[in-house]
C-alpha cells in the first residue's frame, strides 16, 4: 500500500475519540473520520459514574492493576507499563483536566462532571481536524482488491468510505462483531458481566437498603470467592462483593441461566472459636442489643427470628443446637439466586474479538493488517471502578502510536 491518506474510526465512544485525539497530533497529514451510528457521541462517557465519569483508578502498579480484569489482564500487562493510569492522569493534566482520587481509588474530574471529559476529548479531536459524522451506521467492511485502497466501508445510508486503515472502538456491538467475523475474526460469545443478583429469600424481606461493610461470598460448585461490601436491595443483593463475583463468574453464571447458589460468610474476620469465646464471656447479655456480629440491627434480628430464636434471649440461654445454627448462618449460610439485574450504567459485556487474534504491542489485528481495536469490542472487561475506561484509553493510545509501524 502506498502513502496513508485516510483513516476511518468506527464508533464515537471513549476509545475512538482518544485514539483520534492522539493520532491526529502524531500524523497531521492524514485525514481522520469518526463514524458514529447514533445522534450523539461519547454517550457512555456522559452517563458513567453517575454523570461524573470515573475516568480511571489510582492503581498505578500494572501487576496489581491486571488483577481487576477477569478477561484481558494478562494481555494488557505490557500495555499498562507503556500507558497506564499514571500516564492517563498526566495526559489529562496536560490538556487542562485535573482529577481527584476518592477513598476507594476511583478517579474523577475535579468538576464532578462527565462533560469535562467528553468536551476535552471532542475538542482535542476537532481542533486537530478530525471529522465526526453522526447517524452513520456501518453495515459492511470489505477489503479492497485495488492497490490504492485498503478498505471499502458501507453504511446504512448507502454511503461509501474508503480507508487505508481502520480503527474500531464500537464497544459491545453485535453488528460490528458480525462484520468482523466476516473478515475472519473469532468472536467470543458475549455474555453479561457486572450485574446484581435476584433472590426471594425471606431472610432478607423488608431489609432493602441495609449494607454490610465486608463479607466473603463463595459461588458454590466453583472455586470463586470474593470479598467486599454487600447491599440488600428490593430484588436481592448488590455492591462490590456481588459485582466482582458476577464479573469473574460471568460465563459460568450464564451457563447456569442465572440460577445458582452462593455461600455467605457475614463475619470473614471472626472465627467460630472467637464467636464461642465471646458468647461465654458475655453470657448474660441479650442477643438483640449486644452481639459480636456488629451487623446492622434489623438484619441481625431478622436472622434470629428466622432461626426461631427470640432476640430478647440471653446468650447463656442458647442450647448447643441453637448456637450452632447461629454459627452456620453467620459463617456458612447458603442463598439461592434466581436471576440477575443490570447494574445501572456500569453494565459491561464479557466477550468480543478473541484476544489471540490481536497484537497487543500495536492493538492491530493479526489476521487483517491495518485493522486496529481498543475497548470492549475486544474480549476484555473489568470490575467497576474506572478499569474498563482505562483499558480503552490504553488500547487507543498504543494503537495511535503504532499506526504507521
Model pLDDT for residues 273-296, shown as the tens digit of each residue: 999 998 899 899 998 876 677 899
The set of residues, in sequence order, having a beta carbon less than 8 Å from that of 121 and lying 6+ positions away, is 14, 17, 18, 21, 42, 45
Is there a single domain that holds both residue 75 and residue 97? yes
Using DSSP's 3-state secondary structure scheme, residue 311 falls into: coil
Is there a single domain that holds both residue 178 and residue 288? no
Pick from 167, 191, 233, 189: nearest CA to 20: 167
* Number of Cβ atoms within 10 Å of the Cβ of 234: 10
pLDDT band at 2 (very low <50, low <70, confident <90, very high): low
DSSP 148-211: T-SEEEEETTS-EEEESEEEE---S-HHHHHHHHHTT--EEEEEEESEEEE---GGGTT-TT-E
pLDDT-wise least confident of 23-27, 340-344, 358-362: 340-344
The mean per-residue pLDDT over the stretch 333-358 comes to: 87
Is there a single domain that holds both residue 308 and residue 357? no
Q: Is the pLDDT of residue 68 over 90?
A: yes
DSSP 284-295: TSBTTTS-TT--
Q: Is the pLDDT of residue 344 over 70?
A: no
Q: Give the pLDDT of residue 348.
A: 82
Q: Is the pLDDT of residue 184 over 80?
A: yes
Is there a single domain that holds both residue 17 and residue 134? yes
Is there a single domain that holds both residue 290 and residue 370? no
| Rounded Cα distance, 117 and 97, in Å | 8
Q: Give the pLDDT of residue 385.
A: 94
Q: Give the pLDDT of residue 1.
A: 46
What percent of the chain has pLDDT above 70? Answer: 98
The set of residues, in sequence order, having a beta carbon less than 8 Å from that of 261 and lying 6+ positions away, is 220, 221, 334, 335, 336, 337
Is there a single domain that holds both residue 88 and residue 141? yes
Q: Is the pLDDT of residue 239 over 70?
A: yes
pLDDT-wise least confident of 74-83, 342-351, 369-378: 342-351
* Number of Cβ atoms within 10 Å of the Cβ of 167: 29
The mean per-residue pLDDT over the stretch 198-208 comes to: 96
pLDDT band at 123 (very low <50, low <70, confident <90, very high): very high
Cβ–Cβ < 8 Å for 13, 41: yes
The mean per-residue pLDDT over the stretch 160-169 comes to: 97
Consecutive H or E run containing 373: strand 371-373
| Rounded Cα distance, 207 and 219, in Å | 23
What burial letters (b/e) apply to 331-345, b meaning 16+ CB within 10 Å?
A: bebebebeebbebee
Examine the fold and report which residue of 313, 342, 371 is the final residue of a domain before the chain moves on: 342
68: DSSP letter: G
Residue 31 lies in a domain: yes
Residue 120 lies in a domain: yes
The total of structural domains in the chain comes to 2
Residue 118 lies in a domain: yes
Residue 219 lies in a domain: yes
Sheet containing 165-168: give its strands across: 131-133, 31-35, 6-10, 165-168, 371-373, 364-365, 358-359
| Rounded Cα distance, 383 and 52, in Å | 18
The mean per-residue pLDDT over the stretch 205-219 comes to: 97
| Rounded Cα distance, 307 and 309, in Å | 5
Residue 1 lies in a domain: no
The mean per-residue pLDDT over the stretch 76-80 comes to: 98
Is there a single domain that holds both residue 34 and residue 157? yes
Model pLDDT for residues 139-156, shown as the tens digit of each residue: 999 999 887 789 999 999
Q: Give the pLDDT of residue 278.
A: 87
* Domain range for 15: 6-191+349-401
Examine the fold and report which residue of 342, 369, 393 is the final residue of a domain before the chain moves on: 342
Is there a single domain that holds both residue 271 and residue 227? yes
Q: Give the pLDDT of residue 148.
A: 78
Residue 158 lies in a domain: yes
Q: What is the pTM of this model?
A: 0.92
Is there a single domain that holds both residue 38 and residue 128? yes
Query: Looking at residue 46, which CATH number applies to its domain?
Result: 3.50.50.60
Is there a single domain that holds both residue 228 and residue 180? no
Residue 283 lies in a domain: yes
Number of H helices, E strands in the chain: 13, 22
Is there a single domain that holds both residue 261 and residue 138? no
Q: Give the pLDDT of residue 186.
A: 98
Q: Is the pLDDT of residue 208 over 70?
A: yes
Is there a single domain that holds both residue 252 and residue 229? yes
Angle 201-203-207 from CA coordinates, rounded to 5° = 100
Examine the fold and report which residue of 302, 326, 342 is the final residue of a domain before the chain moves on: 342
Amino acid at each position: 500500500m502506498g502513502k496513508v491518506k485516510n483513516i476511518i474510526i468506527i464508533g464515537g465512544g471513549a476509545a475512538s475519540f482518544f485514539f483520534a485525539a492522539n493520532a491526529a497530533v502524531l500524523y497531521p497529514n492524514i485525514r481522520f473520520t469518526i463514524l458514529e451510528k447514533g445522534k450523539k457521541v461519547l454517550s457512555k462517557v456522559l452517563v458513567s459514574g453517575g454523570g461524573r465519569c470515573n475516568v480511571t483508578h489510582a492503581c498505578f502498579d500494572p501487576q496489581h492493576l491486571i488483577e481487576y480484569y477477569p478477561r484481558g489482564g494478562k494481555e494488557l500487562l505490557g500495555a499498562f507499563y507503556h500507558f497506564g493510569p499514571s500516564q492517563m492522569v498526566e495526559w489529562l493534566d496536560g490538556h487542562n483536566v485535573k482529577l481527584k482520587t476518592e477513598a476507594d481509588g476511583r478517579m474523577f474530574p475535579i468538576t464532578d462532571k462527565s462533560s469535562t471529559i467528553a468536551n476535552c476529548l471532542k475538542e482535542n479531536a476537532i481542533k486537530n481536524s478530525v471529522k465526526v459524522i453522526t447517524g452513520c451506521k456501518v453495515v459492511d467492511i470489505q477489503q479492497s482488491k485495488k492497490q490504492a485502497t485498503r478498505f471499502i466501508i458501507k453504511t446504512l445510508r448507502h454511503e461509501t468510505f474508503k480507508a487505508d486503515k481502520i480503527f474500531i472502538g464500537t464497544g459491545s456491538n453485535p453488528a460490528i462483531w458480525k462484520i468482523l467475523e466476516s473478515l475472519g475474526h473469532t468472536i467470543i460469545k458475549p455474555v453479561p458481566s457486572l450485574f446484581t443478583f435476584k433472590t426471594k429469600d425471606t431472610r432478607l424481606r423488608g431489609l432493602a437498603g441495609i449494607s454490610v461493610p465486608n463479607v466473603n461470598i463463595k459461588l458454590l460448585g466453583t472455586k470463586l470467592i470474593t470479598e467486599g461490601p454487600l447491599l440488600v436491595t428490593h430484588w436481592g443483593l448488590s455492591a462490590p462483593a456481588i459485582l466482582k463475583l458476577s464479573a469473574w463468574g460471568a460465563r459460568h453464571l450464564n451457563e447456569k441461566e442465572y440460577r445458582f447458589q452462593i455461600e455467605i460468610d457475614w463475619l470473614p474476620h471472626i472465627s467460630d472459636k472467637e464467636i464461642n469465646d465471646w458468647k461465654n464471656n458475655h453470657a448474660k447479655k441479650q442477643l438483640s442489643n449486644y452481639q459480636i456480629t456488629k451487623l446492622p440491627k434489623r438484619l441481625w434480628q431478622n436472622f434470629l427470628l428466622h432461626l426461631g430464636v427470640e432476640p430478647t434471649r440471653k446468650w447463656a440461654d442458647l442450647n448447643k443446637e441453637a448456637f450452632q445454627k447461629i454459627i452456620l448462618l453467620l459463617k456458612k449460610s447458603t442463598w439461592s439466586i434466581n436471576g440477575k439485574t443490570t447494574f445501572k450504567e456500569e453494565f459491561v459485556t464479557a466477550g468480543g474479538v478473541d484476544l489471540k487474534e490481536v497484537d497487543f504491542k500495536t492493538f492491530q489485528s493479526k489476521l487483517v493488517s491495518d485493522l486496529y481495536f481498543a475497548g470492549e469490542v475486544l474480549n476484555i472487561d473489568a470490575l467497576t471502578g474506572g478499569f474498563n475506561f482505562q483499558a480503552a484509553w490504553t488500547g487507543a493510545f498504543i494503537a495511535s502510536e503504532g499506526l504507521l509501524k
